[in-house]
Amino acid sequence: MHVLAINGSPRKKWNTATLLTKVLEGAAARGASTELVHLYDLDYKGCTSCFACKLVDGPSNGRCAMQDQLRPVLERIETGVDALVLGSPIYFGQMTGEMRSFLERLLFAPLVYSQPPRALFPRTIRTAVVYTMNVDAEQCARLGYPAMFEATETVLDRVFGIQPETLCCYDTYQFSDYGKVTMECMDPARKAARRSSVFPEDCKRAVQLGQRLATAG
């Protein structure tokens, strides 16, 4: 069992990366080998609409044909990963740009223009998505984020064959020193208290997620 985590945050040691690390710790505790990839370390672009992945009997049918630093990651997912965990903070109501570009490359290539929709991905693998965000759960719902979560789950299910899990971490602590930034609507003391009391519980949930991914099915 090999579990791969993809960090779509530019930060390598903050909320999203920490939760992904905890997911991998949980998987490792169940005997899985683990790997963490930081997308912001890689030089790549999103889909360029070359449609090489859609050419009948073409050499890249069902696979992204672009050759860059994302290519080895996509190949490992296709051939050597049993569970895939995606992590991203929410920026302007969406995943980060790097995560969106990664998903374009990962998910569009194996999808077939058919009715009903189907995919050419050669295996079934478990998936999960970890989201971190500055808003609380009520604001998340009011801003319509769950529709984005559901849309992502739908495509992951369609491509990889198993309904994914989603883990949300709300109202995150964004800065080690709020006094150094213009952030007038935040209460630094409340944020720090939540970081101390709630974030450890989020980390526990992430560990449990990793354990489920490594033991399910």
Spell out the per-residue pLDDT of the chain, length 217, in tens: 999 999 999 999 889 999 999 999 999 999 999 999 999 999 999 999 999 999 988 899 999 999 999 999 999 999 989 999 999 999 988 999 999 999 999 999 999 988 888 899 988 999 999 999 988 899 899 999 999 999 999 999 999 999 999 999 998 867 666 656 666 666 767 767 777 788 899 999 999 999 999 986 5
Nearest to 42 by CA among 19, 14, 15, 76: 76
Residue 25: which CATH number? 3.40.50.360
Query: Is the preceding omega at residue 116 within 30 degrees of 0, hence cis?
Result: yes
What is the domain extent for residue 203? 2-215
Helices 199-215 and 188-197 pack at an angle, to 10 degrees, of: 40
- Residue 16 tokens read as 């999203």
- Give this prediction's pTM: 0.90
In the chain, the number of structural domains is 1
